[in-house]
Amino acid sequence: MKRKKILLAWACLMGMLSACTSESGLGMQTGENRAEGKMALAFTGTAPTRSSTTTISPEEAKTFLITVSQGETIIRGPQTLGTMDMRFPVGQGYTVYAESCTEADAENNNNRWGQKRFVGTSEQFGINKGETTKVSVGMSVDNASFCVIIQPSLSNYFKKSCTISVTEGDRTLEWDYDNAGKVMDGQTLDGQVAYFNIGSEGSRTITYTIKAVSDDKTIEKTGTVTLSRAKNSRLNLAYQSGFFNLTVNVNEEDLYVDSELTIGPDDITQDDGATDAIGGNDDFNTDDSEVDYDQYN
């Protein structure tokens, strides 16, 4: 009986040790996976030509918020790319989510006029021991933009003032002759542009109010515009024969990335001013048993 108990205890111990050293779905517990490699991000756009509306610069890309996950587990982030440690434990099933700013910032920055927001998610990839893995992240415009164009036929008649206001919750935006778009020398200038987040339904309807004042007349009008993701809507205002003539022009907001913009470990400056250089494998941890995983969190 005593011998059976000893054998049973020994079997349980071996089972526990085997579980601790087996490969997990995250690929971070075997001896080999305790080493590390590095990651470089290559941002690509949705438009093939430079005639598109936006180009991402390397300086702008370094301000993007990056979240690195492995399976359902967030390994690091969201963190600005320009300050991120690009070393990761060896393993498979990694993905990168990149965003140029948060949804809140996309509407609240720039005195609440907002800003264009880019997002993108990579395919799954692996980190190999002592190597730098290049990861492609396709970026696209995630929100919608809206501006007002005042035609000369309106500004020439309503000389005193013309205001166009949009109120969404506690956010009120107003255009007038100073900041609205104009037509000059046959060219349309957008003027002040406002940005709006778009939910999962893919569109959003906003309400605008126009008030135009001349020496002898004041006219008010309310209407709606439906905004769509990755599109710029221009509300054109004209005045003909005693009536407002309102039209909405919608243009695609494609994102152009010059060839392929790659930000690698040697482009990242750490908080202390030092550069995290690739420089061969000397800066990789290739010791299979001495990695402190708290540094990755």
> Can you say how many angstroms the Cα of residue 30 is from the centroid of all Cα atoms in its chain?
34
Cα distance between residue 40 and residue 62, in whole Å: 12
Strands 73-80 and 65-70 come out as: antiparallel
Cα distance between residue 189 and residue 187, in whole Å: 6
Q: Establish if 277 belongs to a structural domain.
A: yes
Cα distance between residue 82 and residue 61, in whole Å: 8
Q: Establish if 18 belongs to a structural domain.
A: no
Considering the domain architecture, whether residues 181 and 230 belong to the same structural domain is answered as: yes
Q: Establish if 270 belongs to a structural domain.
A: yes
196, with CB counted inside 10 A (0-12, 13-18, 19+), is buried
Distances (CA, A) of 71 to 75, 91, 119: 9, 11, 19
Considering the domain architecture, whether residues 219 and 169 belong to the same structural domain is answered as: yes
pTM of the prediction?
0.76
Q: Establish if 23 belongs to a structural domain.
A: no
Q: What pLDDT was estimated at residue 262?
A: 85
> Exposure string (b/e) for 115-129, b if CB count within 10 Å is 16 or more?
bbbbbbebeebebeb
Using 50, 70 and 90 to split pLDDT, how confident is the model at 186? Answer: confident
Considering the domain architecture, whether residues 80 and 180 belong to the same structural domain is answered as: no
Say how many domains are in the chain.
2
Cα distance between residue 43 and residue 141, in whole Å: 13
Q: What pLDDT was estimated at residue 185?
A: 82
Cα distance between residue 294 and residue 1, in whole Å: 45
Q: Establish if 70 belongs to a structural domain.
A: yes
CATH code at position 149: 2.60.40
> 216-274 pLDDT, tens per residue?
889 898 999 999 998 889 998 988 877 777 777 777 667 666 556 888 887 764 443 33
CA 53-58-63 angle, to 5 degrees, is 95
Domain interval for residue 233: 144-252
Q: Reduced to 3 states, what is the DSSP secondary structure of residue 203? A: strand
Considering the domain architecture, whether residues 226 and 263 belong to the same structural domain is answered as: no
pLDDT above 70 (res 100): yes
Considering the domain architecture, whether residues 189 and 285 belong to the same structural domain is answered as: no
Q: Which residue has the higher pLDDT, 260 or 26?
A: 260
Considering the domain architecture, whether residues 206 and 150 belong to the same structural domain is answered as: yes
DSSP state for residue 21 in the 8-state scheme: H
Q: Establish if 90 belongs to a structural domain.
A: yes
Considering the domain architecture, whether residues 74 and 115 belong to the same structural domain is answered as: yes
DSSP state for residue 273 in the 8-state scheme: S
Q: Establish if 185 belongs to a structural domain.
A: yes
Cα distance between residue 261 and residue 251, in whole Å: 25
pLDDT above 70 (res 123): yes
Considering the domain architecture, whether residues 49 and 126 belong to the same structural domain is answered as: yes
Considering the domain architecture, whether residues 281 and 245 belong to the same structural domain is answered as: no
Average pLDDT score over residue span 7-30: 43
Considering the domain architecture, whether residues 245 and 152 belong to the same structural domain is answered as: yes
Nearby residues of 225 by Cβ (< 8 Å), 6 or more positions away: 146, 205, 206, 208, 233, 235, 248
Instruction: Name the percent of the chain lying above pLDDT 70.
Output: 73
Considering the domain architecture, whether residues 72 and 206 belong to the same structural domain is answered as: no
pLDDT averaged over the chain?
Answer: 80
Q: Are 70 and 97 in contact (CB under 8 A)?
A: no
Considering the domain architecture, whether residues 36 and 135 belong to the same structural domain is answered as: yes
Q: Establish if 20 belongs to a structural domain.
A: no
